[in-house]
Amino acid sequence: MDFITWTDKMSVGVDSLDADHKKLLGIFNRLHRLIREKDETEKLSLIIEELDEYAGYHFNTEEKILSLCKYPDLEVHKTHHEKISKTLSKFMAKHKKGTDLAKNLEFYDFVSDWMLRHVLGEDRKYVEHISNRNNKKVG
Ligand SMILES: [Fe+2]
Ligand SMILES: [Fe+2]
């Protein structure tokens, strides 16, 4: 069962960013199944690599869009992304050294927090700004 199911309420109002967030939540749900439901149909290393690659791509895209929209809190938002990237890199390094992250609840908590607090929290802070800009453009 999915831990987080996407609903339209989660939309940030930009189709490409919504698609990225859906993809990230999808990766997280697979990780959740693997760790919490002990579903071993997937390999943890593949999920972690996908998460790392996709996070890098998504943070870049989101920052570019926010920059184009002149989002005033872009620098703060970037620091959140950097912190997530650094923590993820640390876990990746542990994983490469042989730590079994499937049994590491700190790793699970970190990714849950990222999805719940950042994707469904911090990222929502720019929704109003983007929506106001779009309305101004149309009006
Ligand atoms: Fe995001
Ligand atoms: Fe973000």
Tens-digit pLDDT profile for residues 50-62:
999 999 999 999 9
Q: Which residue has the tokens 């876990």?
A: 91
Secondary structure letter of residue 37 according to DSSP: S
What does the alpha-carbon distance between residue 111 and residue 118 come to, in Å, rounded to a whole number? 10
pTM above 0.85, yes or no: yes
Tell me, in angstroms, the distance from the centre of ligand 1 to residue 115's CA.
9
Tell me, in angstroms, the distance from the centre of ligand 2 to residue 29's CA.
19
Tell me, in angstroms, the distance from the centre of ligand 1 to residue 21's CA.
6
Could you give all domains of the chain from N- to C-terminal order, each with its CATH number? Answer: 15-138 (1.20.120.50)
* For range 80-106, the mean pLDDT: 94
CA dihedral sign, ordered 112, 117, 121, 125: negative
Ligand nearest to the CA of 24: 1
